[in-house]
Structure 1
C-alpha cells in the first residue's frame, strides 16, 4: 500500500512546560532626577482624557468572499478496478469482466443480491417518485446581468516579484492551484530573484501549501489527471522536471541538459497511457519531445517542427503553445512563434507525415491553442490582437469565427468547461473578457478589470464589473499573462505580470448550461463552416477564371515611359478633382499643366 501523505511536525512547535517560582521583588534600575531638565518641562492645562470599555479602532471593509472548500473521501471496501486495469482502456475492462463472470463467487453473489434488488424494484414500480407532472409548463428564466467579483488573491511571497506564466488546477475538486513563476524579460538581471514556484491551497491564501524547487525557473506546470500527486514542469533552461508531491518540493527526477530542449519549454502535457507516465513537451528550439517519467535520461521520441517536411532543425518553427485532449489521443495542436498552427498526428510512420495540417492564423506568435471540450474538431487560438475559432474540417481556409481587433494584445484564452460557446480571454491592459458567441459575436458579454486596487481603493467599488458599453476606470494596468477555469466553470484564475493570481467568481448565468444550448452551438459552428466552404469555393473559381483570362490574352509588353506618364496624369487629375470637391480655387497654371499631362498621356 502506498503512503498517500506523511504528516510531519517539528518538536519546537509542541511548546515546552512553564516553570513558575516565587522570589521577592528587587530594584533593577534607579535613575535619579536631573534638575537641568526642569526648564524643558511644559505643563498642559486642562487635560482631557476619555475612557471607554474598548479601544478605538478604524473601520476597514472589502467586498470579498473566502472560498469555502470541503474535503470528502470515499472508502472503497468492495468493488472498483484493480491497479493493473486501466478503466479507460476498453479492452482491459472487457477482459477483466469476462474473467470475473467465469468465477463461481460471481454467480452466487448475483443470486444473493438479485432478491434484494427485485424487492426495491417492486417498491419503485408501486409509486413513480420521478414522474414529472408539469412538463408542459416552462419556468420563466430571469435574465440576469452578467457580473463578476474577486474572491481571493495569491501574491508572490518573494520581494523580487516574477510573472505568473502558467496555472494548473488540482484535479481533485480544484482544491489547490499550482502556479509557475518565471521572468520572461530579456536579460532580466535583478538580484535576489527566486526560482521557486508554489502550490496554493484555496483555504490558506497567505502562505503556499507546497514550494517547488526546480533547477531553473518554471515556464509551465501541469497536474496529472490520473495520478494527482504527479506534476510536470518545463524549465527556462529547457529541462523537464517531474515531482511527486507526497515526497515534498524537491524534484523527483529531471532530464539531463544535453538531451533537453535548448530554449525555454513553453508547453508540456500529460498523455493518456496505461501507466500514466508519458508526457509531451515543446520549445522554441523547434523540437517536440516525448518522455516517460520513469526514464528521463533520453526522450522516447522526437519531432522537428519543419512544415516544409524536410526534417531540418534550421527550418523548424518555434513552439509557443501546446494543446492535447484525451478525446483525441493521437492528435495534438501546436502554436508557433511565426503565427502558424500545426495539427500533428502521432501515429504517422515518418516524422514528415506527423505534420498533418497547417493553419496560417495570426500575424504574430500564437500564445494559446485550445480545443473545445464539447466539439474536439473546433479549436480556439489567440495571437496579436484577436482570438479566432477554427475547424479541422477546413484545411486551407481562414477561421470560421473571430473577435474584433483589440487595442491591447491578447495573451491567453481558455474555454468554459460547462458551456460550449463561452470562452475567456485576457489582455495586456489588465482586462478579462468573457465571450458568449451564442448571444454576442461583436462584443464580450462581460469585461472585467482585474487589479489589486479593486480590494483597497475607497474611490472604486470592490470587484467592479461593467458592460463593454460602459467605460472602464483605469484601476490597474498590470498585464494579465495566464488564465484557467475550474472544472465547474464558477471561478476563473488570472495570473499577472507582477506575480499576483486573482480568483474571480462569475455570475451563475455564465456557468449554467441552458436548455438546447449544446445543440444551438453545434448548429452555429456548422453554419459558419458551410459559409467558409462556400466563400473558399468562390475564391478558387475566381482565381481559375483570372488564370484562364491571362492565358487567352496575348502577352503585351508595357512601355515604362507610357506607364509613368499615365500615373503622372492620374495623379494630377486626382488632385484637381479633390480641389474641386473642397471648393478650392484652382490656378490657371495648374489647370494648364494638368491638361497638358492628360493630353500627353
Structure 2
C-alpha cells in the first residue's frame, strides 16, 4: 500500500505576488569606471560563486517503496543437513553430496550463486578484512588464578527431599537441563510419594520448564542427541521409558515389567545409529539390555555380566554405570557394584565373546566411568575415595590415581575442552577441579557448592564453561568456571598425550618386573627331594634377592634370623645330654618342617 501526504500552505504566506509583463529594454543608469579608484583595491584571482535568487523551502513530499519483512525458521544445527542425514557419519554426508551434485539444477544454482558473490570476492582480493594491524605489539598477559562462581540454583519445588541422581544437557544448545530425582538410600521411605522429574531452563530457576511424569521414580534420564525433544529414562522398578516433550509430560513408550530389569536401571545411554532410536541400559541385576524405541515391549539383545564367561546370572556382577563413546560404536564399558570394570564388545556372538578385558577397578562400587574425549584408549573411574586413570593397554593396574580423599567421591567427568582437566564431586558438597599437568597431589581448585553431599555432575559439552551439580536434597547448582579452565593451550594436547604414554610405559615396566619376580619366586619355592632346595633354586633365589627390592630382601633376612633363633632355643630346651646323632636327626627334621626363608 502506497502512503503519501501533501503539505499545503496559504498563498498569502508566500509574500507579494509577482506579475511579469513584456516591454522594451531601457538603460536606467550608465556609470563609467573611474581609473583612480583602482589604486584603493588589490586585485585577486577570479572567484566563481553560484547564488540562488529565491528562498529555499524545506516542505516537500516523497513516496518510498514499502519494505516488507518475513520471518522464517530453519533447524540450522549442523550446516543445514536434512533430518535423515547424520552429519557425524562421513559415508552419509558423502552420499548426500554426490546425490546433490547429480541433480539437474545443481549447475545452474552454482552459476547463479557465483555471479552474486563475484563482487564480494573482488573486494576480498583488494582488501584483507582479517589483517592484523597489531601483530608486532606484545600484549601484557596476566595469568590469573582459576576461579568459579555460582550462576543459578534450582531447587526441587516439592516438599519431599529427594536426591538429584542424574543430569543431562540438551543437545540443542546449552539452555535446558533434564534432572532425575529419586531416593536411593537403603531402607528409605517409599518412593511412590512423589515421582516427577523436571527439565529446567537455565534462565528461569524459579519454576521447572517441563515436568516428566514416569510410572516409577527416575534414576537416570538422557536427552536424545539426534532429537532434542526426546528423552529416555531408567526407572526405580527396572523399566525404561521414552518421553517426548511435544506429546505431553507422561511417557509415550515404556517397557514391559516382565521384560525389564529386576533392579533399578542405573544407567541408560543412546547408541550411535542411523535411525537414532537405539539405546541400552544397565542395572545391578547383572544384565545389560539393548532397546529400540520402535519396539519397546522386549529388549533387542541381552548381556549377562558373568566374568567367568559361563552366562550364569547368579554369578553376574551388578552394573552401576556405563561408558559409551560414539566414535567407537562397537565397544562399551561397564562399572560394576563389586568394583570391577568390564570392557565389552557388542559384536560378539555370545556372552563369552562380548565380555573382554576385566580391570581390577576399585574396592567399592564404581560410580563414574568415562573415556578421555581426545585419547579414547585412556579412561577414568571413580570409586571409594580415589580417581583412577586407566589405559586399555594394561589390565592389571592403573597408570595414574589421586591420593585418597577424606570424603567419598561420587562422580567425575573429563573437561570436553581441555584434555588435562577433570571434575569430581564429594560427599562434603565440594566440587574439585583437577589439572594433571599442573599438579597431581591435590586439586587445582576446590569449590564449596553446597553444605550437603553432591551426587552427580555434568559439564556442558559445547564450550565447557558451565558445570551442573546435583545434591542429596534435590538442589541443582549451575557453576561457571573461569576462562583459563576452558581454554586449551597450543601444546596442551601434546603434553597430555606424552604424559599418558610415559605413564603407560612405566606401568608396563613395573608389571613386567612384578611378573618376573613372581615367576622366579614360584620356581624357587618348589620343594626338591627330602624337602630341601636344589642348587638351581637357591641360585634363583639369591639372584632374585640381589636384583630385587631392598625392603623385600631385608624382610627375608629378618625372618631368617627369627627362624634360626627359634631352632636354637628349641635345641637348648631339649638339653645337651642327647647324642650327637640324635641331635643331628632332630635338626634335619626341623629343617624339613621349618625351611629357611
Q: TM-score range by the shorter chain?
A: 0.7 to 0.9
Match of 2:427 in 1: 428
Match of 1:197 in 2: 197
Unaligned runs of 5+ in 1: 1-71, 452-475, 559-565, 574-592
Answer yes or no: is the 8 Å Cα contact 2:155–2:476 preserved in 1: yes
Answer yes or no: is the 8 Å Cα contact 2:167–2:178 preserved in 1: yes
Cα 1:148–1:288 shift into 2, 3 Å? same
Query: Is the aligned partner of 1:318 residue 2:293?
Result: no
Answer yes or no: is the 8 Å Cα contact 1:568–1:597 preserved in 2: no
Match of 2:457 in 1: 483
Give per-residue Cα distances to partners, 1:478-512, cap 9 Å, x unaligned: 11101111122212111111111111122222112
Answer yes or no: is the 8 Å Cα contact 1:421–1:521 preserved in 2: yes
Distance 2:113 2:378 in 1: 46
- How do residues 33-432 of structure 1 correspond to structure 2 at under 5 angstroms? 74=74, 80-132=80-132, 139-189=139-189, 193-394=193-394, 396-432=395-431
Match of 1:510 in 2: 485
Cα 1:172–1:337 shift into 2, 3 Å? same
Distance 1:125 1:359 in 2: 59
Match of 1:539 in 2: 514
Give per-residue Cα distances to partners, 1:259-282, cap 9 Å, x unaligned: 000000111000111111100100
Answer yes or no: is the 8 Å Cα contact 2:320–2:337 preserved in 1: yes
How many residues end up aligned between the 2 structures?
477
The CA deviation at 1:74 is 4.6
2:496 aligned counterpart, secondary structure: helix
Answer yes or no: is the 8 Å Cα contact 2:182–2:191 preserved in 1: no
Distance 1:551 1:75 in 2: 73
Match of 1:492 in 2: 467
Distance 1:538 1:134 in 2: 57
Distance 1:412 1:191 in 2: 23
Match of 1:457 in 2: none
Cα 1:229–1:542 shift into 2, 3 Å? same
The CA deviation at 1:220 is 0.5
The CA deviation at 1:157 is 1.2
Query: Is the aligned partner of 1:441 residue 2:440?
Result: yes
1:492 aligned counterpart, secondary structure: strand
Unaligned runs of 5+ in 2: 1-71, 534-557, 574-589, 591-597
Cα 1:119–1:330 shift into 2, 3 Å? same
Cα 1:130–1:397 shift into 2, 3 Å? farther
Answer yes or no: is the 8 Å Cα contact 1:397–1:532 preserved in 2: no
Distance 2:82 2:215 in 1: 36
Answer yes or no: is the 8 Å Cα contact 2:191–2:217 preserved in 1: no
Distance 1:75 1:385 in 2: 45
Answer yes or no: is the 8 Å Cα contact 1:232–1:242 preserved in 2: yes
Cα 1:547–1:569 shift into 2, 3 Å? closer
Equivalent of 1:556 in 498, 522, 531: 531
2:525 aligned counterpart, secondary structure: helix
Cα 1:403–1:567 shift into 2, 3 Å? closer
Distance 1:567 1:217 in 2: 59
Give per-residue Cα distances to partners, 1:47-69, cap 9 Å, x unaligned: xxxxxxxxxxxxxxxxxxxxxxx
Answer yes or no: is the 8 Å Cα contact 2:192–2:216 preserved in 1: no
Distance 1:196 1:481 in 2: 19
Answer yes or no: is the 8 Å Cα contact 2:280–2:289 preserved in 1: yes
Answer yes or no: is the 8 Å Cα contact 2:164–2:179 preserved in 1: yes
The CA deviation at 1:97 is 2.2
Cα 1:595–1:205 shift into 2, 3 Å? same
Give per-residue Cα distances to partners, 1:94-136, cap 9 Å, x unaligned: 2332222222211222223334445433432333333456667
Distance 1:594 1:430 in 2: 59
Distance 2:307 2:354 in 1: 10
Answer yes or no: is the 8 Å Cα contact 1:569–1:598 preserved in 2: no
Cα 1:146–1:82 shift into 2, 3 Å? closer
Match of 1:473 in 2: none
Distance 1:209 1:216 in 2: 21
Match of 1:460 in 2: none
Cα 1:131–1:524 shift into 2, 3 Å? farther
Cα 1:397–1:208 shift into 2, 3 Å? same
Answer yes or no: is the 8 Å Cα contact 2:183–2:191 preserved in 1: no
Distance 1:383 1:216 in 2: 27
TM-score by length of 1: 0.74
- Alignment root-mean-square deviation, CA: 2.8
State which drifts further: 207-216 or 84-93.
84-93
Give per-residue Cα distances to partners, 1:205-236, cap 9 Å, x unaligned: 11111111111111101111110000010001
Distance 1:178 1:557 in 2: 70
The CA deviation at 1:137 is 6.5
Answer yes or no: is the 8 Å Cα contact 2:382–2:411 preserved in 1: yes
State which drifts further: 491-500 or 333-342.
491-500
2:514 aligned counterpart, secondary structure: helix
Cα 1:89–1:505 shift into 2, 3 Å? closer
1:124 aligned counterpart, secondary structure: helix
Distance 2:488 2:560 in 1: 63
The CA deviation at 1:549 is 2.6
1:214 aligned counterpart, secondary structure: coil
Distance 1:164 1:527 in 2: 39
Distance 1:353 1:552 in 2: 39
Answer yes or no: is the 8 Å Cα contact 1:412–1:425 preserved in 2: yes
Give per-residue Cα distances to partners, 1:406-444, cap 9 Å, x unaligned: 111111111111111101111112111110001110010
Answer yes or no: is the 8 Å Cα contact 1:286–1:313 preserved in 2: yes
Cα 1:499–1:82 shift into 2, 3 Å? closer
Distance 2:252 2:513 in 1: 57
Distance 1:514 1:168 in 2: 28
Answer yes or no: is the 8 Å Cα contact 1:569–1:594 preserved in 2: no
Distance 1:75 1:381 in 2: 37
